[in-house]
Structure 1
Amino acid sequence: MLVSGFTLKAQNFEKDMNTTMYGRNKAVGKYAEIRGIKMYYEEYGKGEPLLIIHGNGGSIKNFVYQIPYFSKKYRVILADSRAQGKTLDNADSLSYEMIADDLNGLLDHLKIKNANVIGWSDGGIEGLLLAINHPDKVKKLAITGANLRPDSTAVDPYVQKMVLSENIKGADSLRRVKNPTAAMKNQLKLMHLLSYEPNIKSSALKKIACPTLVIGGDHDVITTRHTLEIFESIPKAYLWILPNSGHATPLVYKDMFNTVVGNFFSKPYRTIEKEARFM
Structure 2
Amino acid sequence: MRRYCLLLPFLLLSYLGLGQAVPYGNNPAAGHYATVRGVKLYYETYGKGAPLLLIHGNGGTSKDFSQNIPYFAKKYRVVALDSRAHGKSTDAGDSLSFEMMADDCAALLTQLHLDSAYVLGWSDGGITALILAMRHPSKVKRLAATGANLWPDSTALMPELWQQMQRGYREGKNQTFTDPKRKNDWKVFLLDWKEPHVPLTALAKIKTPSFIIAGDRDVIRPEHTVAIYQNLPYAWLWIVPNSGHGTLQEHADEFNRKTDAFFQARALPMKAK
Q: Please, what TM-score do these two structures have when normalized by structure 2? A: 0.89
1:167, CA displacement in angstroms? 2.3
What is aligned with 1:128? Answer: 130
Contact residue 147 and residue 215 of structure 2 kept, 8 A: yes
The reply to whether residue 265 of structure 1 matches residue 263 of structure 2 is: yes
- Aligned-CA RMSD value: 1.3
Q: Aligned partners of 1:161, 1:139: CA distance in 2, in Å?
A: 37
Task: State which of 128, 142, 145 in structure 1 corresponds to 2:144.
Answer: 142
Which amino acid in the other structure matches residue 211 of structure 1? P
1:272, CA displacement in angstroms? 7.0
What is aligned with 2:169? Answer: 167
Aligned to 2:28, the other structure's residue is in SS state coil
1:164, CA displacement in angstroms? 2.1
Q: Aligned partners of 1:254, 1:129: CA distance in 2, in Å?
A: 25
What is aligned with 2:104? Answer: 102
- Give matches, 1:85-234, under 5 Å: 85-172=87-174, 174-175=175-176, 180-234=178-232
What is aligned with 2:244? Answer: 246
Which amino acid in the other structure matches residue 255 of structure 1? D
Q: Aligned partners of 1:139, 1:30: CA distance in 2, in Å?
A: 23
1:145, CA displacement in angstroms? 0.2
1:218, CA displacement in angstroms? 1.1
Tell me the number of residue pairs that the alignment of Structure 1 and Structure 2 aligns.
252
Identical-pair percentage: 49
Q: Aligned partners of 1:272, 1:121: CA distance in 2, in Å?
A: 25
Which amino acid in the other structure matches residue 128 of structure 2? E
1:158, CA displacement in angstroms? 1.8
Which amino acid in the other structure matches residue 158 of structure 1? E
Contact residue 167 and residue 188 of structure 1 kept, 8 A: no
* CA-to-aligned-CA distance 1:84-142 (integer Å, 9 cap, x gap): 00001111110011011001110011010011110000000000000000000000110
* CA-to-aligned-CA distance 1:37-73 (integer Å, 9 cap, x gap): 1100111000000001000010010000110000000
Q: Aligned partners of 1:273, 1:28: CA distance in 2, in Å?
A: 40
Q: Aligned partners of 2:39, 2:268: CA distance in 1, in Å?
A: 40
- Give matches, 1:16-95, under 5 Å: 20-95=22-97
Aligned to 1:200, the other structure's residue is in SS state coil
Contact residue 160 and residue 195 of structure 1 kept, 8 A: no
Relative distance call for 1:197 and 1:273 in structure 2 (3 A) is closer
Which amino acid in the other structure matches residue 79 of structure 1? L
Structure 2: runs of 5 or more not aligned? 1-20
